[in-house]
Amino acid sequence: MTVVTRFAPSPTWYVHIWSLRTVLYNYLFAKKHSGKFMLRIEDTDRTRYVEWSVENMLGVLANMWLIPDEWPNNPWDLWPYFQSERLDIYKKYIEQLVQEDKAYYCFCSSERLDELRKEQTELGLPTKYDKKCRYLSLEEIKEKLASGVPYTVRLKVPENKEVVFDDVIKWKVKVMSKDVDEQVLLKSDWFPTYHLANVVDDHLMWVTHVIRWDEWTPSTPKHILLYEAFWWKPPVFAHIPLLLGTDKKKLSKRTWDVAVEAYIEKWYLSEAIINYIALLGWNPKTTEEFFSMNELIERFELEQVHKAWAVFDVERLNFFNSYYLKNSSTDYLYDKLCNYLAKYSPEFLEKIKTFSDDYNKKVLWELKTKIKKFDEFEENTRFLYWEANIPAKDLLLNEKMKVESIGIAKIALELALDVVSSNSDFSNIDEVRDIFIEKIKNAWLKNWQVLWPVRCALSWEQYSPWALELIYILGNQKSSERLEKILKEI
């Protein structure tokens, strides 16, 4: 048996963080078992359909390197992957259920159903359909159909039946049929509901494992009853817990901070997002935290997913992103940085492209150990790409660094100017460090007495990379110009 998993979202908004985790678990499980991962679009709720949502979804999956084996408009086009293009298929199965007395026409108006729910709510009862149309006579049904009365089709739930299914994460789940609502299967607009289309498509597309949010657990008995009505073998179910925010409240579906696109715009590395999301609710049974995609595929087990809800913490994501920034090659990051800036900050990209790639990579080499994500790159490098005003003289002073007077700062700046003006550009940071440490030692000064004012003179900022790193990045000519400029001022 070939393992087939699927992600079947409704195209109603951006891809959520917890949707990405659902995709990831489906992808990891399929690849672990040399199976197939499919993307199917469940667009039968036309009132909530958002046209750009599908394109955004495909873009996010491509950005995260979660490429489906089958997806809408793929080159193989095995079948329609939009449910709105499969209506004839659903109609066939609806007719079968009605003919076999496993579903029935419901002629109740929306006003009656609203009033029914209101009454049940006021009485503290579960909001369920009262089965009024289940017991209509054949003559009544024919009369209403002939009169053109709008109708839906509902599932006929067997009475006094125990519905049982195994869940990989929740183990065995049991529900009595009296607690299962007689769900609408076909709406009055002739579009199927999720419940019917989901079951029919999973069966016809040979889906073997349904890995989805915990919110769908209450609906699963309805799906089991549909599988039984069609005499089909149900897939294996695994309902993964939802995500909470750090306030221990359920993450909202409609706020930008849960959209994967928001984290792409802030330029979190895809490998950092994937690594962190994978560990939200899954325990790999090791103290290790950092895994490549191949390592995740090798280690992933559905049985190791927790039942309890997991907490999505941006600070933890920042921790993972910092790790991947520090441990990725500068060349790799530079290509990704340019792609990021081309999309989200083209003016800044145009500015840095007036400098050599070698210079820009030196800047990135230094900054990648200091920033958590790349939307911090521009604000932390402005002094490396633009000239700035001379800082206040007090910035050069620092009692902790033993720079207690402008006289000491001037000595430090002159020493640095002598070094950079009498040498060609340094080939690496170690060369800069060796020469400066020796010069400082011979001048009977402390390292920080020199390096603090030099750092401030080169960056004109209170916070910046350290002096030797700045000299290496700026080069000796630019460093000399800045040192000379501030020496004239003091």
Cβ of 367: how many Cβ atoms within 10 Å?
21
Interstrand relation of 36-39 and 103-106 (parallel, antiparallel or unpaired):
unpaired
- Say which amino acid occupies 22: T
| 259 within 8 A of 15, measured Cβ to Cβ | yes
Strands 209-213 and 152-155: unpaired
Selection from 218, 155, 146 nearest residue 192 by Cα: 155
Given 3-state DSSP classes, what are the helix, strand and coil percentages for the chain, each rounded to the nearest 5? 50, 10, 35
238: amino acid identity, one letter = A
Distance in angstroms (rounded) separating the CA atoms of residues 471 and 488: 19
**Is there a catalytic annotation at residue 253?**
yes
Write down the residue that tokens 């955004």 correspond to.
Answer: 56
**Nearest to residue 438, comparing CAs of 420, 463, 466, 419?**
419
Q: Could you tell me the two tokens for 172?
A: 């065995």
Length of the chain equals 490
Q: Are strands 103-106 and 152-155 parallel, antiparallel or unpaired?
A: antiparallel
Distance of alpha carbon 468 from alpha carbon 48, whole angstroms: 57
Q: What whole-number distance in Å separates Cα of residue 175 and Cα of residue 162?
A: 6
Residue 181, class by beta-carbon neighbours within 10 Å (0-12 exposed, 13-18 middle, 19+ buried)? middle
Distances (CA, A) of 227 to 25, 84, 282: 24, 21, 29
Of 118, 253, 326, 343, which is the active-site residue? 253
The Cα diameter of the chain in Å comes to 109
Q: Name the burial class of residue 68, with classes exposed (0-12), middle (13-18) and buried (19+) by CB atoms within 10 angstroms of its CB.
A: buried
Contact in structure between 371 and 377 (CB atoms under 8 Å): yes
Q: Tell me, what amino acid is at 7? A: F
Task: Kindly give the pairing relationship between strand 152-155 and strand 184-186.
Answer: antiparallel
Residues labelled catalytic:
253
